[in-house]
Amino acid sequence: MYTIKQLPFGNAHKIILKNEETGEFASILPEYGANLHELHLEKGGKLFSVLDGVQTEDEAKKNEGYKSSKLFPFPNRLNQAKYAFNNREYQLPVNWPAEGHAIHGLFDKVAFQIIDQEENEEHAKLILAFDYEGDIEGYPFPCTIRVGYTLHNLGLACATAVDNIGEAEMPVGDGWHPYFTLGESIDDCLLTFPACERIVVDEKMIPTGELEPYNAFEHPQSLQGVEFDTGFKLLEDEVFVEVDLYSPKQDVTLKITQSTGENQYNYLQIYTPPHRQTIAIEPMSCATDAFNNGWGVIRLKAGDTFSLAYGISLE
């Protein structure tokens, strides 16, 4: 049986989706951008905490590392926080002053509302929504963002849907920023992801326009000594793309599966923090600075909706 419970999280709340049989659970923070706070998955009768999320409400309020943040309406960097769309120029706040950019969207700390939930023998499902009125000067595009989490026997599914409720076409990008762990240094793990194209960036981490073929992790490779803060353009010849993080010591594989194809998660960002205990594997629908370079940006017409998803599982 799957259950849904609500517990305090400081002065806020966390919603727990749980498989009562296996003990697997996910917890979500509605008041902090529908943030995925915890995820415990099971293999061979053992529970693994696979997510490095915020630990306290104070950390959630700051979340300078964007742990598990929802990245909307653009993931990663927006050059000098400026862009042009349909012959108009827009200026957003600079929230990454070291480089002078806007980064990781606008809604990672807004309060989402629970609009639906379901618990039964097969899954626990939670749907949250945020209605944006278009009141940020640099992004005057009203929309509704819906985030869904479903815990089932194959792991956790994370879905997003966006409705353009305004009267004009809007630019959209979407992404996630989870930090994953298998409880050991990533130097002891192997990483696998398909052949793709590496996005070349300048000294301020903005794409130069160049793409380079990349297949170094097409087969399992050690992360020992490998540093990533790197974006990739995936090859859109599959329905989904899978990234695997494998621990030989524990014989367990964490799988991150993202939908690909038209208006889906066709980009990937991988980041290895200096402490080497976690790895950020970030599904993205567009490249860094997509509002300027156009790589993957979705032009969502008034009244239209798009949806996309990724999943996390353990084998």
Print pLDDT tens along the chain (315 aa): 999 999 999 999 999 999 999 999 999 999 999 999 999 999 999 999 999 999 999 999 999 889 999 999 999 999 999 999 999 999 999 998 989 999 999 999 999 999 999 999 999 999 999 999 999 999 999 999 999 999 999 999 999 999 999 999 999 999 999 999 999 999 999 999 999 999 999 999 999 999 999 999 999 999 999 999 999 999 867 789 999 999 999 999 999 999 999 999 999 999 999 999 999 999 999 999 999 999 999 999 999 999 999 999 999
What domain range is 244 assigned to? Answer: 2-314
Residue 246 is predicted with a pLDDT of: 98
Question: Distance between CA 130 and CA 122 in Å, rounded?
Answer: 27
Model pTM? 0.96
Q: How many domains does the chain have?
A: 1
Q: What is the CATH number of the domain that holds 67?
A: 2.70.98.10
Query: In 165-271, which ranges are E strands?
Result: 170-172, 175-177, 179-180, 190-192, 196-201, 207-214, 221-222, 229-233, 240-247, 252-259, 267-271
pLDDT of residue 185: 98
Q: How far apart are CA 251 and CA 230, in angstroms?
A: 27
Max CA-CA distance within the chain? 57
What pLDDT is stored for residue 235 in this prediction? Answer: 87
Instruction: Give me the numbers of helices (H) and strands (E) for the chain, helices first please.
Output: 2, 28
pLDDT at position 236: 67
